Amino acid sequence: MTTESASIGIGVAKANAKRLLDDAEALIVRERYPSACALACLSIEEISKPVIIRKILLANSPEQVSTGWKLFSSHHDKAAPWIVPHIIHSIPETYEQFVDIFIHQSDPVLLDSLKQLSIYCGCYGNCHWSDPGKIIEKDQADVVLKSARILILSGQASPVDLPSGLRLWQNHMQGCFSLGYVTANNKIVEFFYRAADTNLLPKPKIPLEVAFDFMITALVLSDGEAAELSIPDPKGTPNNRLHGAVHKPRCS
């Protein structure tokens, strides 16, 4: 995949995610809760695709390319980020704490199940029929819509999505197709400093309009090295704050 093609794909995915969310918003006003919930689920899956495209750009072997495209087509992998806004609402003090909560609370199967129950009539157990109109109510739809809104508002079009931004991404993140959570976070922080140094962005900070986009990117790049998941100090230290100072990269 070229950076030009990746840029087009990222733009299409972000626009489609916004379209699906807009349709879900229109349906929930009309009290069509199952359909609103289903479209909100789909919008979350779509807004996860740019993250996976960035990972594919870092592939340097046929096996890694295959792994990337399997992630791209996996409903569960694309649904995993739906819990991220709810975790941030709990205000984790460090990135390690955020990851620890994500590992223990992330449930992509739940979102996929909500999507299925929102769309299909099903038969479960001893011939128990599920009716989307009776199962999915406003509360369930609201929870998914809230997550979709945050992910999409914090995953908007950005200069880092342009071919020039993606070339910088490829160069800076070379060899980082698969690495630990903390290292991934630190490499992304470094990337935004590089983006400012090259005048791609005005400041060396992660812009709010792509904050969740790149937080999820760190998760998708990660295999979760056990050593990086230890949290010896629950209050955190200055160098492991969420999006804090950069640690020494350890890419594989």
Q: Which of 127, 243, 251 is nearest to 179 (CA)?
A: 251
Say how far apart CA 160 and CA 167 lie, in whole Å: 9
* pLDDT at position 182 over 80: yes
Query: Which range has highest mean pLDDT (34-43, 152-161, 223-232)?
Result: 34-43
Percent of the chain whose pLDDT exceeds 90:
47
Q: Apex CA 216: angle with CA 211 and CA 220, to 5°?
A: 150
Say how far apart CA 108 and CA 84 lie, in whole Å: 11
pLDDT single digits (tens) 130-155? 899 998 999 989 999 998 998 888 88
Across 154-168, average pLDDT:
93
pLDDT of residue 213: 85
Across 160-182, average pLDDT:
92
* pLDDT at position 245 over 70: no
**53 vs 181, higher pLDDT:** 53
- Residues near 248 by Cβ (< 8 Å), separated by ≥ 6? none
